[in-house]
Structure 1
Amino acid sequence: MRRTATPVIPFFRAALIAAGLALAACAPQPTAGVALPAAPAAPQSRGVAASGPVQVALLLPRGAAEAGVQALAADIEAAARLAAAEAGAGRIELRVFDTAASPAQAAQAAQAAVNGGAAILLGPLYSATTRAVRPVATGAGVTALSFSSDSAAGGAPVFVMGDLPENEADRLMGYAASQGVGTLAITRPQSDYGALSERAVREGAARHGVRVVHTLSYPRSFEGVQAALGEGAPGVRASGAEGVLIADGGQALRAVAAFLDYYDVSPRSVRFMGLGLWRNPETLQEPTLRGGWFAGPDPAAAADFEARFRAATGRAPHPLAWMGHDAVRAVAQLLAQGGAAPFAAQAVANSAGFDGARGPWRFTPAGANQRALAVFEVTEEGFVVRDPAPAALGAGS
């Protein structure tokens, strides 16, 4: 029977906005109102000298209006400089160009970087700014390693290196299938990230023989979640799904899980699951999520990077700071492989991959990335590894 009272749960609009900020660096961004030039035919990739410093441009939103985005940009830069110092011998010369979170300014920054002799572009941060940089990179024959988490923004000479829902969903669905989960319901926010996550989960589920039997979306507000779950939770329950994936994080995740439980979609009868946004201390504060599974990076490798970052800067890194480190480390590894054009698309999409701050990873020829991920379970004591990340990636595709 449908409940009429509202469960008491800790959920505030301000917390939703804060949780949304963590998504802002990786979710697809709208490009409406920005006229982007068509990409010209690509010339040969820009080469580098056999010795001496290589100019590497870092495209970051230093001048963004939001203080949180400025802080993220600062930590990505700090992590990049850490990796450059670890590469040694003054081989990598980093120069930072401000994109201000604007597609138009990102294109101008990229043009200034290539005019100044940059051999490769690292960044920008958003999907929209990445698309704006593509014509510049293509026209100059310069590869860009974007920090976006929208695989649709990738494609040579642009490669995206942010966490992709596709990787997380594939790893999680493979594990869920191995544990006997055969049917799945998806709950997700009505946002670009929500739509991207649903598509990724559907594709991963299909690859591993898991049937998606129900979907439920909700506006990302307290009233929206309350109304959508009140109306939609009975459908989730009636679907008979053995697993329920909640594609959200922070206070929004806690609210959705609490409402599902209140409307008798209980973790005692179904397995709650999620993507990388679950790796957040707030997840541990929601008892309903205990026993839930999610995919994420190797904790040992991540801890080593965090310790080195703290030693170099005196502070803990932003959760997305690792992208600056991994981008520069990839540059160093590509340079070490030698060749007149170490940053050509064929070299970047090398199936051997790279050693990252959170484990092995590689780019795909399509401009996306693949990562070695673990599967975690939420417990009262913390996140416990249920299935470790592989030590190496399998054969490339």
Structure 2
Amino acid sequence: MSLGAFFLICAMPLLSGCAGFGGNEAPPPRPIVTAPPIAVQPPPAAQQPTGVARDPSKFFTPAQMAGRPLIRVAILLPFNSPRADIRSLSNALYNAAQLALFEFNNPDILLMPKATGSAMLAQKAAQDAIREGADLILGPLFAEEVGAIAPIAHASNVPVVAFSSDTKVAGNGVYLLSFPPDEDVNRIVDFAVLRSMTKFAALYPQDDYGNRVRASFEKAVADHGSQIVTSASYPPNTEGMNLPVQRVASYGGRHGALLAKRSELKKAGDAAGLKAIENSDTLGDLGYQAIFVPEGGTRLRALAPLLPYYDVDPRKVKFLGTGLWDDPSLAREPALEGGWFPAPPPEAHAQFVERYRRVYGAEPPRIASLAYDGVSLAVALSAHAEGERFTTEALTHPDGFAGVDGIFRFLPDGRTERGLAVLEMHPTGAIVIDPAPVSFGVPPAL
């Protein structure tokens, strides 16, 4: 049986079984939630990224698990972040990890949470985890911390499955279980070009994410023999968004063309012609068929209405987004109706959300599923013989794995390839218009 097939068999019956709780059936018992560790004091100084000596006699073993052939999985999360929202996110990720451990019910898996919050704390956490016997490290969340622990883990021959999407920290034993922006871009450009869209516009945020998606979008469009007709970037403040939107909307020229046309019709005494354009604000079509808007949350809610305000008609120009659009609250934004965006297949994720809600009484953040799938991956690979569980060959198996966010596989350079669906935005919620693939048909290519 292939590794990918094993994880498919292991994971998917669980999803369907758990989705059926309700009616007269009792919900699953709540898992025992242990408090995450809090490192009160940072280490006195950054330590050199060298390998950590591993003495099996000093590996961490809870009394109730003594005598078992334990598989130790550390999870590093920023429980010690100075930001309350990041601490809350860390707790949600940890909850999701425990939920997976509880649902898969492998008594030989020991989950060892470690607190980070800075590069120094991450190094200390990684060293402690490896010293305590970690066979695999899940996390950290942020690229700076991933980069800080990578040399330590590599020197200790412990692979890292991190939650950062920054490909600069991938490789040499670090695999990114995340939602890579370039995967989003490639999927949505592929889909748009297949629908005969060859001319594009784009609005990019002025930040690191904007720079990354700009590079990916320009490459994807060029690879398809298509063209970016116009683009602009905008600052994070709402006031600064107007001029960039006017620029990609060609508003000045089109509005001027309308005024000139009205003047011409008045001179000609063409009342019917004037009547036909009396409710118009611009004249002339735009030179593109779709506009790429890689934004989300409150900034997208501020940006999106400006496009129709400056006469970019979503009935004529298709609005395209990234996975940042995978937010139910955005369905209520009229300007986005009919827009397309890539996202993991929603069914399994919705089941995960429901199970999380039943156990913890709260809605999980969107990326909480990464921790769930990370633990699920560890459980699946734990079926292999000791010494073969978390090897490069096992982690980069071309069949990949299936989780609550669809299929994924790690490439040899540590990047992630995902099977994404394309969704269309509607007021009642986004709907799938192009399903995600259920398997990888060809070997990964770099």
The interval holding the TM-score normalised by the smaller chain is 0.7 to 0.9
User: 2:407 touches 2:419 (CA, 8 Å); kept in 1?
Assistant: yes
1:164 aligns with 2:211: no
SS of corresponding position for 2:304 = helix
Name the structure 1 match of 2:273: none
Partner amino acid for 1:134? A
SS of corresponding position for 1:181 = coil
Higher mean C-alpha deviation, range 277-286 or range 157-166: 277-286
Give the % identical residues.
34
Name the structure 2 match of 1:213: 229
User: 1:42 touches 1:141 (CA, 8 Å); kept in 2?
Assistant: no
CA distance in 1, matches of 2:392, 2:174: 8
CA distance in 2, matches of 1:42, 1:368: 26
1:173 aligns with 2:220: no
Give a deviation string over 1:330-351, Cα, whole Å, max 9, x none.
1111122335232122221111
CA distance in 1, matches of 2:299, 2:212: 17
5+ residue gaps, structure 1: 1-33
Matches within 5 A, 1:134-173: 134-173=150-189
Partner amino acid for 2:401? F
Name the structure 1 match of 2:404: 357
User: 2:203 touches 2:245 (CA, 8 Å); kept in 1?
Assistant: no
Structure having the higher Rg: 2
CA distance in 1, matches of 2:333, 2:361: 31
Partner amino acid for 2:437? P
CA distance in 2, matches of 1:180, 1:59: 45
Higher mean C-alpha deviation, range 320-329 or range 237-246: 237-246
Residues 1:371 and 1:36: Cα distance change in structure 2 (over 3 Å) = farther
Structure 1 residue 204 displacement after superposition: 2.7
1:262 aligns with 2:309: yes
SS of corresponding position for 2:300 = helix
Structure 1 residue 233 displacement after superposition: 3.4
Matches within 5 A, 1:210-359: 210-234=226-250, 240-359=287-406
Partner amino acid for 1:164? P
CA distance in 1, matches of 2:52, 2:220: 33
CA distance in 2, matches of 1:272, 1:42: 51
Name the structure 2 match of 1:97: 114
Partner amino acid for 1:192? D
Partner amino acid for 1:126? F
SS of corresponding position for 1:336 = coil
Partner amino acid for 1:283? L
TM-score (norm 1): 0.84
CA distance in 2, matches of 1:266, 1:168: 24
RMSD: 2.7
User: 1:214 touches 1:239 (CA, 8 Å); kept in 2?
Assistant: no
Structure 1 residue 239 displacement after superposition: 6.8
User: 1:42 touches 1:138 (CA, 8 Å); kept in 2?
Assistant: no
How many equivalent residue pairs?
359
Give a deviation string over 1:61-115, Cα, whole Å, max 9, x none.
1111222111111111111111112232312101111111x11211111111111
Partner amino acid for 1:128? E
SS of corresponding position for 1:265 = coil
Name the structure 2 match of 1:11: none
Partner amino acid for 1:295? P
Name the structure 2 match of 1:65: 82
Structure 1 residue 311 displacement after superposition: 2.7
CA distance in 1, matches of 2:50, 2:152: 9
5+ residue gaps, structure 2: 1-44, 60-67, 255-284
Matches within 5 A, 1:198-209: 198-209=214-225
Name the structure 1 match of 2:258: none
Structure 1 residue 255 displacement after superposition: 2.2
User: 1:123 touches 1:147 (CA, 8 Å); kept in 2?
Assistant: yes
TM-score (norm 2): 0.75
Partner amino acid for 1:290? E
Residues 1:320 and 1:165: Cα distance change in structure 2 (over 3 Å) = same
CA distance in 2, matches of 1:197, 1:36: 35
User: 1:241 touches 1:270 (CA, 8 Å); kept in 2?
Assistant: yes
User: 2:52 touches 2:131 (CA, 8 Å); kept in 1?
Assistant: no
CA distance in 1, matches of 2:46, 2:249: 42
Partner amino acid for 1:127? A
Structure 1 residue 176 displacement after superposition: 0.6
Structure 1 residue 148 displacement after superposition: 0.4
Partner amino acid for 1:278? W
User: 1:173 touches 1:210 (CA, 8 Å); kept in 2?
Assistant: no
CA distance in 2, matches of 1:390, 1:136: 36
SS of corresponding position for 2:414 = coil
